[in-house]
Structure 1
Amino acid sequence: MANQVEVLQTLTSSLREIQDRIVKNQISAQRESLGDTIKSSPDFQRLEPHEKASVLALLKRFRDSHDDEELLRYYKAVMRFITGSRASVLEEPQVLLAVTGSQIAEVDLWRGVDDTILGLLQYRVISDRRDMIADPYSSSCEWAFQYPTGHETHASLSEWLTCGSGIFLLLGNEASGKSTIMKYILRHERTRQCLKQWAGTDKLLTAPFFFWCHGTELERAEEGLLRSLLYSVLLQDTRLAPIIFPSEWTTLYSSMSSGNDSSDPGFGPWKIEGLRRAFQQLIRQDQIPLKLFFLIDGIDEYDSVSDIERFPDFIKFLSVELAASKNTKALLSSRPLEDLKQLKAEASLILHQLNHNDIELYAREALERDENYRAIRELNPERSEEVLRYIARGSDGSFLRAKLAVQIITQKLEAGGEPWETEYNLLGPASQEWYRVIWSTLDRFTKSYASQILQILLVGTDQRYGGPNFKDSMTLIDLALAVGDPNTTIEASIRPWNLGQFQIKCDQIASSFTKKWPGFINVDQTAGHKGWNAASRIQYCHRSVPEFLAQEETRRLLLDATKGLEYDFTPRIAHLKSVVQHLKVLPSPLPKEPARCLWNLATQGLLAAKQIDQSDEAKKETYTRLLSELDRTMEHHHIALQRGPDGKFLESRLQDPHGLVALRDRGLDARRVAKMHWSNFHFDPKCSHDRFWNDSFLSLTIQFGLNNYVKKALDQGSKISQRKRGRPLLSYALCPLPVAPYGLITQAMVEILLEHGGSPNQKFVNTCCEDALIWQWETFVDDNARSITGAWAESQRVADARAEVILLLIEKGADLSAEIKTARGQSLPARRVILDSLRAWASPDVYNALKESVEKAENSSRKKGGTIWRLRK
């Protein structure tokens, strides 16, 4: 009977294949006439404009396709699309009573496809830069709407917004307030009113983007710009998705209509070419009456490692596409650059020539808040007004110059001087010279203190990753605890601080960089908070500060200032010191969600350790001792979490399946948990796993890529990898933590573990190699690499590193005959998992080398009788 069923299933499958082949041949032969037939059909004529435009976009792809499978997919998508009415259900909820269940299911399918595309476009920091830009002072920047541009067609920004086209360029020198005014324009009601007049009866869609050269890769590259603009547009009208992304939309539609999971999109990463094509589809489409307004701030901050050489090409692309579209206009801001001439802007404003009144008003408001200045003004109002006017003129349109002048004036007033005694020469030189002048006025002690802080901030930018639990910048308390002798932290006992102790520490350091050496860094002051808020983020006063600090001459100045310290200062170790100190002084009881708080701090410390580990500082004994203290302190808190206020182990309530009997375990389970290593505890839900893994501090340092630390530990105990119970150490390296950056683990770590007894075929639940391939499939296929960082370039780097790891496992005898069971229950050959998961992501040379290695291993297997040779130890 079973054999008959199998025969019947095989025949049915064969008949389907034959039927599909016949359909494909018919469709291919009649593709032109089929398209015309569909467009003239009553079903097509009943569609609303968005739906017609979507079908036309799909039909264009249908006509251009040369692949039979793709051709059939497009045809099925078109036919299914025109059988339902999307608009009536989406826009008139009351119609739901009259539609069939199949129509509702179809609308749900459409929504699922649209939402998946939105999810693939979105990235974590998509609006971070805009949110952190300061709002304007009481000056409303209203002049920006009224000031004549000198252009013969458009007399002002408001007139261009109302009836202009193409590109309006807002130019401004360094620190002239470009980003602030762009944010102001974006949020102003007048902008909306002008654009509505321009749009008329057409639907108006707006999309902003703020470049940031000190942000993540996506915040400073063309990929981030295009993904952000397309995401913003689709968020306002998801029905545009089939028009903008016909190929991707159809692939998803076909997959999801067949019952496949929406998180398996079936296509690869976003690449610049594909995103540009989508952008062109959006602004060139003429089926849907739309008006599009883009606001792009800081195109001079375009600064991607992978894209920097493409900047002129990027400018040309913007110019050509925006000029060609009658329904699209864009407001752009930038420093003056030669490349911008290609934009051929319709109109422009020169910000640093027009903002003097704003600067004078800023200086007035800032000085009026200082009681010493108010007292001087009462005695000599004319001289005080003269100082304000001088600041406005001498700043040459730069808010930063004005800010530095105000800070120096208030500093001098606090010391008993008068505002007109200020060294006005600060207003003349370029910004890099301002910082040098300020630095030269500091005494030796202040220079030493400031140098430590600035060096700590500089290396801190290396530790920014895209994971959900990682900070993008240091907080005030992070910085306060980083400064000082690390040996003091190592030798300190675990003793909670009260809020007053935290406040004193924060006030001390904040007063230093805001009063003794202002102009370099600042901290957001929380409204209504007494004193400085420990959780406030540290920020550079301006982007020119890190540019100044990165200069070779400045680095020498910073290093010279810390030479006389009584202890060995290294900025990366200071980051690790900060975390260990923080763990030791956490208040008692611990903050809300104590487990998450502890895990985030430990993660922050291990990321700092990664930076140390790949430098010469890894040889320092301080590094190893700080890691030991991090481990010991986390263990202390881990055990404390298992106890109640009375010091007794917490009791668990045991319930029978029917809920009839409930017993308390008298703290037995809490005792068991307390005996586990703290990294085995479920601090973060994403890291939840069974206790029998028997995690250790060594396994955790493997997952954070601490190569030198791990090698030293294994060298000291050569059999340590064999002695560990539970999950093999190699498996940790092959399956990165879901909350840690995947780029932390490299081929070097895998080599270290293999040299110390690891084997790709060592079995736990699965073999190490099988676990590696399961992770690889889930990351690059099921998740489409979204969990890496969202940037194509970073995803490719991770994929290339992964390919190198797989090459090493193959070399060491990994079993390529294995069937890999994925998280969704699929059973796939190891060869397919290796190649299919990385095909769209790895660079061509790396992928070809991997493919060649797999083929060699298979040929070798055939020669040895059909079974892949396995490395056994």
Structure 2
Amino acid sequence: MDGWSALGAAAAIAQFIDFGIRLVSTTVKNHKTPREVSELQGHKLIVERLQALVGRLTDESSSTGLGTAENDLAIKAICDECKRTGGEMLAVVERIYGDRSTGVVTQLKGHGNRRKWKSFRQALLQVWNEDKVVELSNRLHILRQDLTVHLLAALSTQADQRAQEAGQMHLIGQEFLQTLAEPEKWQEYLINALQQKGVEKRLPPPDMERGGATHHYEDSIISVMKSLQYPGVMDRETTISQAHEDTLKWIFRDPEPQGFQWASLVDWLESNTSPNLYWVTGKAGSGKSTLIKYIHRHELTMRALGKWSPSQPVVTPVFYFWNSGRPMQMSLLGLLQTLLLGVLRAKPEYIPLVSRSRWEAHRLFAMTMPPWTQEEVLEALIVAIRHCAQSSKLCLFIDGLDEFEGKPEDLIALVKSFLLPNVKVCAASRPWPVFRDAFGRDPGLILEHLNLPDISLYVTNHLNNNAGFLELKAHEPKHAESLAHEITLRSSGVFLWVSLVVHELLQGLSRGDRLSDMQRTLEELPSELERLFEVMITSLGLLARKRAAEMFRIVGAARGPLPLLVFGDADEENPKYALEFEPRVRSQDQRLSRCLGIERRLNSYCKGLLEVKMLWISKDCTEGKPIKVNDAQQMLSLLQDPEDIAGYVDGICNSRVEYLHRTVRDYLARPNVKTQLDEWSASAFHPDLSLASAFLISLKTIDPITVTRAGFWWPINRCLAYAARFEKGTASSPDSLLNELDRVACNLSLSRTGDNQTVWRSIAKVPKRNTVPPWPSTLAPIGNIEERSFLGLALQCNLYGYVQTTLQNRPLTELEITGWPLLLSAFTGYNTSGADIPMFEKQQPPASLLQMLLRNGADPRASSVANLTAWQFVLRECHCASGTNAASPGSLPYWVDVLLVFAEWSADSRQPIPIDAWAVIQRYWPDIAKVRRAKIRKCRPPGIIRWLSSLHQAGIS
């Protein structure tokens, strides 16, 4: 059949299946609208609708447009089966309602009793038994499942045909859905079918030649590529230090016979023989990441790989594990996603082959599917590697295997699975036994054995670039050379140690140290990294030690990268600074001046253990380049374009304050060191409160003219998250800060944007309305308004202390919002719908808080905009936590407590317990009695006695 004949038949089938499923499963309640009652309970309409649908199926089945292609025949077979099923249903209708031509008889044919049934299913049960009705319902569902797959194939074929005929692909899927009565449901069915394992084998092969030149084809490719990206995907690579001038060049030379033995990297890159893995190992801080970055970017690497693959291009994806970064940067999913993204950037034509479901979802429906799963992305990467074997080769670079968050054995197994004839892997890690056992027999090198000449060059250059050192060297050249040589030898190949020691010695020069003083300082500095960190910190004066301790704790408490400007606001000494700060937009000069002052303080107090890493991207750059903040004034004098100047200032303000190295983070996280930092800090200092205050200031400095949805919620989300962690850790609620957050966000939401809209309407993208909802309502999905209160938001963020304090001072009537009841907010997690927020787990509210909400007038029967009540939520959780259905068996006692609280409220307020609650109580009463028998026996207030009495009356012993 031609494209539209197949889709026409599919539309007829879909309409019939929808109506059939609705007939056999829907019960009409008294609260249904007249239209719904008429549609389902009006017997004449049922008959007429069913006759019309079966008639259309007959027309489509006998259509001359039907073809002989496999998918066309499958759709015709489904059409015939639906026609047969429709005939059965019409025969039953005749028995139930009598004359099909009128459909007005309301009694079973041949029966004297006149009655009406609440649903068609109930009427069916007068003719068929339950098994027969269930079989009909199952048959209709199976027909729908079969149809979705063949419908996808028909849509895909039609999209290819349109691309060939018109040179463009319309959203054929959306066009088809508009022919159905329930397009949203069928889009969901089709998208779900696309996600089923193996569905691509049932679809026609993608026609790359037809679609490749169309604009919509390109959009679909870009959509899949964007779905692989994640926040910070390039962070680690851009923050790894560039190789120092004239260093690491030895990596492309042959090993020297008289030196330490190592395998030639060039020979390995050029070789056509196995092994296909090269292992770079070395001590912590020896410069492994810098070496991998140097190799990956060097033109000599590509030249050598060209000899391995002279007739085919070589694709070189890279991934840097980073356990100081975001979760994705230390996970298998992050590794797989980044490698796949690297392959597809070089070979975008592979996308319809490796991710057929995502490509079809976008080109047919302009839909973006949920985030990738580890299984999905691994399968896609395997397919990509398989296709690469036909036209290209791969060399994967993977750094920091020891920074992987999971079991090293799992990572090793994955890396080894990549080692195919067309794939090489260059991996780097510390020399842990598990990696030595796995890769020790492969070609490779031990970095600290080979980098002493580079370290010598680094030391010499840094010392000779200091005017004070050159002056001393002019008087004592041999002593100066001896000092540089001793630094190199004591480094034991650890670049990190060298950089810290040279920094410390140059600091001494700025104080007027002599060469003898520098020599004495060097002798006093330990050779081990952790001992060096300890000496550097403890050598600070009391005031500097206090400031450094607080800075270390702020960075340690930060969730994810911490912008320099936010760090500076968190480092304010005045604990009321955020509350007293008047909302205003900071000028470009104010932001720059503040950041430069913060950077100077950080360098002065933290001895280089914390550093500012900046990423600035100009219009002429394709890649961000780290730039030292203290070079800012010089850089600004070179820039002419206002856009570049603004971008550079933004880059400074968004520079990340980070640990110098992972070893610094590990040292500062040791329990005894954390205790020491706590003791050195001011008594009133708490890093979570400081960070919450800093993000409150970020909110106060937002420009309403240009604010976006993400920009509005970014500081709010983080302020709430740090406030919640502060409250949980200290049992003290930051009430003043949260009240100020509510006030400022409310005022900002009512401000005017550049196009003279209110901020809340601009970011929520909703039609104009007479009433302005509370500002937390803008967190709902774009285009919708689910009215929520700030107190409800606080409940969702685990800020229970704040909620209790607020309820003590204000009546619930002033705080409750009808759209989303407070009780439901207490149980449900943060609705993040598109908001960029730090992760935190939902903590279930204590029973005492629920009792307070109930005492203040909260009603567990109140329904949300999603038609969910707190009663329903609790009953569902009881079901999930009970018996063999337990997802987390340990949670049952908690939900039993909540059930008791709700039931006691029902008894005390003389409100009936919902019928479905009785069903849950009766079903799980043995579990409830078992886990809370003692509590029930002790509880003897009038309410619980009445409740136990009603349990007995309901037949529950």
TM-score normalised over the length of structure 2: 0.61
Match of 1:537 among 656, 663, 679: 656
The residue type paired with residue 684 of structure 2 is D
Distance 1:614 1:339, change over 3 A: same
- 1:600 is matched with 714
Corresponding position of 1:849: none
What does residue 723 of structure 2 align with? 609
Aligned to 2:233: 126
Q: 1:392 to 1:147 in 2, by over 3 A?
A: farther
Contact 2:279 2:444 (8 Å CA) reproduced: yes
User: Does 2:740 align with 1:629?
Assistant: yes
Match of 1:457 among 555, 561, 575: 555
CA distance in 1, matches of 2:440, 2:241: 30
Equivalence for 2:429: 334
Q: Could you tell me whether the CA contact under 8 Å between 1:579 and 1:601 is conserved in 2?
A: yes
**Aligned position for 1:160:** 268
- Change in Cα spacing, 1:813 to 1:737, as seen in structure 2 (3 Å) is farther
Map residues 340-739 of structure 1 onto 2, 5 A cutoff: 340=435, 341-343=437-439, 345-422=441-518, 423-425=521-523, 428-460=526-558, 463-464=559-560, 472-487=561-576, 489-490=578-579, 505-524=594-613, 525-526=628-629, 528-530=631-633, 533-562=652-681, 565=682, 568-581=684-697, 586=701, 593=707, 599-616=713-730, 618-619=731-732, 623-635=734-746, 637=748, 641-642=751-752, 678-679=775-776, 689-690=784-785, 695-714=788-807, 716-717=809-810, 719-720=812-813, 723-724=816-817, 727-730=820-823, 733=828, 736-738=831-833, 739=835
The CA distance in 2 between the partners of 1:443 and 1:21, in whole Å, is 85
CA separation in 2, counterparts of 1:72 and 1:434?
56
1:271 aligns with 2:374: yes
Letter in 2 for 1:271: Q
* Deviation for aligned residue 1:744: 4.3
Give the distance between the partners of 1:650 and 1:114, measured in 2 at CA: 36
Deviation at 1:398, TM superposition (A): 1.2
For residues 227 and 73 of structure 1, do their structure 2 counterparts lie closer, same or farther at Cα, with a shift above 3 Å needed?
closer
Q: Deviations over 1:598-622 (max 9, x none)?
A: 5433333222212213222x415xx
Measure, in 1, the Cα distance between the counterparts of 2:286 and 2:549: 28
Q: In the alignment, is the contact (CA less than 8 A) between 2:242 and 2:294 conserved in 1?
A: yes
Counterpart of 1:124, as a letter, is P
> Which residue does the alignment assign to 1:141?
248
SS state at 1:209 partner: strand
For residues 436 and 415 of structure 1, do their structure 2 counterparts lie closer, same or farther at Cα, with a shift above 3 Å needed? same
Structure 1 residues 401 and 73, CA gap change in structure 2 (3 angstroms): closer
Deviation at 1:530, TM superposition (A): 2.7
Distance 1:70 1:575 in 2: 44
Compute the TM-score of the two structures, normalised by the length of structure 1: 0.66
Verify the 8 A CA contact 1:540 1:546 in the aligned structure 2. yes
Distance 1:149 1:373, change over 3 A: closer
1-structure distance, mates of 2:844, 2:534: 42
- Structure 2 letter corresponding to 1:441: S
Cα distance between partner residues in 2 of 1:116 and 1:632: 39
Structure 2, unmatched stretches of 5+, are 1-43, 62-73, 82-141, 147-192, 614-627, 635-648, 759-766, 877-886, 903-915, 917-957
Equivalent position to 1:300, from 381, 397, 402: 402
Q: What residue identity is the alignment partner of 1:86?
A: M
**8 A Cα contact 1:372 1:413, kept in partner:** yes
CA shift for structure 1 position 72 = 10
Q: Which residue of 2 aligns with 1:98?
A: none
Q: State the distance in 2 between where 1:485 and 1:177 align.
A: 40
RCO greater where, 1 or 2, for CA within 8 Å and sep 6 or more? 1
Helix, strand or coil: the match of 1:748? Answer: coil
Q: Deviations over 1:296-335 (max 9, x none)?
A: 01111112xxx33xx223313423x244x21111111111
Q: 1:6 is matched with which residue: 43, 47, 50?
A: 50
Contiguous gaps of at least 5 residues in structure 1: 29-66, 94-103, 465-471, 653-668, 777-798, 815-830, 832-873
Percent of aligned pairs sharing the same letter: 21
Q: Specify the alignment match of 2:289 in structure 1.
A: 179
The equivalent residue for 2:335 is 225
**CA distances 1:463-497 after superposition (whole Å, capped 9, x unpaired):** 33xxxxxxx22424533543313145445666777
Pairwise CA distance, 1:384: 2.4
Q: Which amino acid aligns with 1:712?
A: T
Quick one: which amino acid aligns to residue 736 of structure 1? N
Cα-to-partner distance string for 1:752-804 (whole Å, 9 max, x where unaligned): 5695455576346542459999xx9xxxxxxxxxxxxxxxxxxxxxx999x99
Q: Is the 8 A contact 1:439 1:447 kept in 2?
A: yes
Please give the secondary structure, in 1, of the residue aligned with 2:252.
helix
Cα distance 1:735–1:70, how it changes in 2: closer, same or farther (>3 A)?
A: closer
Tell me the distance in 2 between the aligned counterparts of 1:808 and 1:119.
45
Asked if structure 2 preserves the Cα contact closer than 8 Å seen for 1:576 and 1:609, the reply is yes
Offset at residue 158 of structure 1 (A):
1.6
Q: Against the structure 1 CA distance between its residues 233 and 497, is the aligned structure 2 distance closer, same or farther, given a 3 Å change threshold?
A: closer
Contact map agreement 1:735 1:771 (CA 8 A) in 2: no
Pair 1:188–1:137, CA change in 2 (3 A): same
After superposition, what is the alpha-carbon deviation per residue over 1:223-242, rounded to whole angstroms, capped at 9, x for unaligned?
22122212321332244456
- The structure-2 alpha-carbon separation of the partners of 1:809 and 1:70, relative to structure 1 and needing over 3 Å to count, comes to farther
Question: SS of the counterpart of 1:619?
Answer: coil
Change in Cα spacing, 1:497 to 1:229, as seen in structure 2 (3 Å) is closer
2:269–2:301: 8 Å Cα contact kept in structure 1? Answer: yes
Distance in 2 (alpha carbons) for counterparts of 1:162 and 1:342: 23
Q: Is the 8 A contact 2:599 2:629 kept in 1?
A: no
C-alpha change, 1:607 and 1:414, in structure 2 (3 Å) is same
Q: Specify the code of the residue in structure 2 equivalent to 1:7.
A: Q
Deviation of 1:417 (Å): 0.9
Gap change, CA 1:476 and 1:406, over 3 Å in 2: farther
Take 1:118 and 1:590, find their aligned partners in 2: how far apart are those partners?
32
Q: Whole-Å Cα distance in 1 between the matches of residues 480 and 260 of structure 2?
A: 41
Q: Secondary structure of the equivalent of 1:288?
A: helix
Question: d(CA) in 1 for partners of 2:845 and 2:222?
Answer: 38
Root mean square deviation, CA, Å: 4.8
* Greater mean alpha carbon deviation, residues 418-427 or residues 223-232: 418-427
Distance change >3 Å, CA 330–CA 636, structure 1 → 2: same
Return the alpha-carbon distance in structure 1 between the equivalents of residues 305 and 377 of structure 2. Answer: 26
CA distance in 1, matches of 2:749, 2:432: 56
Per-residue Cα deviation, 1:819-872 (whole angstroms, up to 9, x for no partner)? xxxxxxxxxxxx9xxxxxxxxxxxxxxxxxxxxxxxxxxxxxxxxxxxxxxxxx
User: How far did residue 699 of structure 1 move?
Assistant: 3.4
The one-letter amino acid paired with 2:308 is W
